[in-house]
Chain A
């Protein structure tokens, strides 16, 4: 954790994002810090509305301002702070350095443009390629993401593709300029399970081919186990646990992570037992919580939890940290 920041591909420090709504200020992301290494896959998990997507959109300055506001922090990409970049500079970064794919492939392609147009667009704007070279590259990309007959399909419209195929097209678009970091915002959530597996396999294969870092946002812990090197668990705009993927599954330390893993159906468990659910609902983000945001739903809650919000501190190994006052194994404060 103490290594020089230049070594990281992306280092986010203390990022805070707010939304000013008529109901009040929504504290969507509350000072999260993390980093991504070159070629590494980082998974961010957490339930809906915990700030996963918003933090990624903030890094790329894609938050609508207003009502959104990036209230503080920095996002160093190869040592340059993305949050200080102008819109023009961000247009250079987006797509070229950091690309993003989205949850719903049905809506994230423009229905009135051919997919050829949509893929070549980034090549024409960023790489200043001529039309023919861009077409050729688009065919290569479609081939790489496993679309048969790529040359013919360039002139097809999005409605002529199935959901899984569209997500492949999205991936091809994202990869067009050879980004060093791919942010995948729940890319498999809208797809059925077999297609999910194909997409996960595809991204893994391409990541290995081109040595690209991936941030994979999901709420599917099953996908995480298959793809990630490290995992961040987010809750109510905070990072509550971060660990190597094996550590997280072997030795989850934050009560929220433990509860999430217990809520997961498993093939090696008895079927007649009911899955454990987490009681209560996530807190309203309309105010910053005084204590730990998870306190009201936590089994291990102690007095101190309601008074002060725990910082993210290492547990035992150097890469495993949690934000919790309690040692869950012993039930005592740590």
Chain B
């Protein structure tokens, strides 16, 4: 970005302000943010890669049915990639390509929904603590700190073990999800809201001192509306960034616990439990871990780049247009 600024001489920026141009409406905040985002090359690459991955996971189901992804034929187990099975087959003869497609759907779904749980919780806790302060703040923040003190992976494992298998299978959009998907979403959401709560609280602590909050109160606006309609929209930028990075974390967390065999249970595939299945064949059948691993890597990397770009684009202090 610095290079670009240098390459543009100062003169041209002044020349922009011709009377004709002044007639055009000023750019909205969203347009400015989008411009800044486009300047962030890694973020744009991340966005494109992510879009391709989503297309891969969703579009792939046109070519392969879920039945095919779960169909096993032990006579063709552990086949190396061929034209018939481009990503090879796994230890019980399922097609790895089809499983990465359906696993991707589950992994992305878990990432997104876990972040929704995380964001709702984090915003609620952070907003109430920050806005009301005092006693409410103390209680909520002590709970947050207590949660932060427990190592996340421990919490995940214990909760996965405890809740695993207690929720029956679900039918959503004509597909059957193992109940463990819901469990995983909930426990990832329940163990990751603390950082967001702290961010939101800090935002509220500073934003509530603004005169527009006093002005809103002076017109008789109820507290709930001040919290959610006046202050929350002002802190959207850090929340969006945090939630974006949260998707990557949730996908990784899902991979952890599934790799440990506590996550989503087969036959429902996820990138995480495909790695679990590859555990015994690290050297003899590398295609088992290579493809799901690569997909996780690409997803997490591009989401992180995306989050990075969003952070720069939504930062009110960055004035580069």
Contacts and interface: CB of A to CB of B under 8 A. Distances in A.
B170 interface: no
A176 B216 CA distance: 13
Contact of A108 (B26, B214, B222, B234): B214
Given A112-B234, A113-B230, A113-B233, A95 B211 contact: no
Interface string A83-124: 000010011111110011111100111111100000001100
B221 interface: yes
Contact of A94 (B212, B220, B223): B220
B212 A110 contact: yes
A111 B234 CA distance: 8
Contacts, number: 76
B217 interface: yes
Given A111-B234, A113-B230, A96 B220 contact: yes
A203 to B, nearest CB: 16
B29 interface: yes
Given A112-B233, A125-B222, A62 B211 contact: no
B215 interface: yes
B221 A121 contact: yes
Contacts of B222: 91, 125
B219 A94 contact: yes
Contact of A170 (B28, B215, B229, B234): B215
A120 B217 CA distance: 15
Contacts of A111: 212, 234
B220 A125 contact: yes
B134 interface: yes
A70 B229 CA distance: 29
Contacts of A87: 223
Contacts of B211: 102-104, 107-108
Interface string B194-236: 0000000000000000111011111111110100011001101
Contact of B221 (A99, A101, A107, A125): A125
Interface string B146-186: 00000000000000000000000000000000000000000
A231 to B, nearest CB: 23
Given A102-B211, A110-B234, A91 B220 contact: yes
Nearest to A109: B212
Interface residues of B, number: 23
Interface in A49-105: 60, 62, 66, 87, 90-96, 99-104
A122 B26 contact: no
Contacts of B29: 112, 157
A160 B26 contact: yes
A91 B214 contact: no
Given A66-B134, A107-B211, A110-B212, A126 B220 contact: yes
A57 to B, nearest CB: 8
B220 A110 contact: no
Interface in B211-269: 211-212, 214-223, 225, 229-230, 233-234, 236
B141 to A, nearest CB: 18
Contacts of B134: 66
A107 B219 contact: no
A122 B221 contact: yes
A174 interface: yes
Q: Which of A62, A103, A107, A110 has the most chain B CB within a 10 Å cutoff? A: A110
B215 A102 contact: yes
B219 A92 contact: no
A173 interface: yes
Nearest to B207: A110
A242 B232 CA distance: 44
B214 A102 contact: yes
Interface in A158-177: 160, 170, 173-174, 176
B219 A122 contact: yes
B220 A100 contact: no
A110 B219 contact: no
Nearest to B219: A95
Contact of A174 (B28, B210, B219): B219
Given A113-B230, A160-B26, A94 B215 contact: no
A160 B218 CA distance: 23
B218 A94 contact: yes
A99 B218 CA distance: 7
A109 B214 CA distance: 10
Given A113-B230, A113-B233, A157-B29, A122 B220 contact: yes
A141 B230 CA distance: 22
Contacts of B219: 94-95, 99, 121-122, 173-174, 176
Nearest to B232: A112
Contacts of A62: 214, 217-218
Contacts of A104: 211
A321 B133 CA distance: 43
Contacts of A176: 219
B287 to A, nearest CB: 50
B26 A95 contact: no
B134 to A, nearest CB: 7
Interface of B: 26, 28-29, 134, 210-212, 214-223, 225, 229-230, 233-234, 236
Interface of A: 60, 62, 66, 87, 90-96, 99-104, 107-113, 121-122, 125-126, 157, 160, 170, 173-174, 176
Sorted nearest first, the 4 A-B pairs with minimum C-beta distance are: A95-B220, A94-B220, A95-B219, A100-B218
11 contacts: A62-B217, A62-B218, A87-B223, A95-B219, A100-B218, A102-B214, A102-B215, A110-B230, A112-B236, A121-B225, A125-B220
Given A122-B221, A173-B219, 15 more contacts: A62-B214, A62-B218, A66-B134, A87-B223, A94-B219, A95-B219, A99-B218, A102-B215, A104-B211, A108-B211, A108-B215, A111-B234, A113-B230, A113-B233, A121-B225
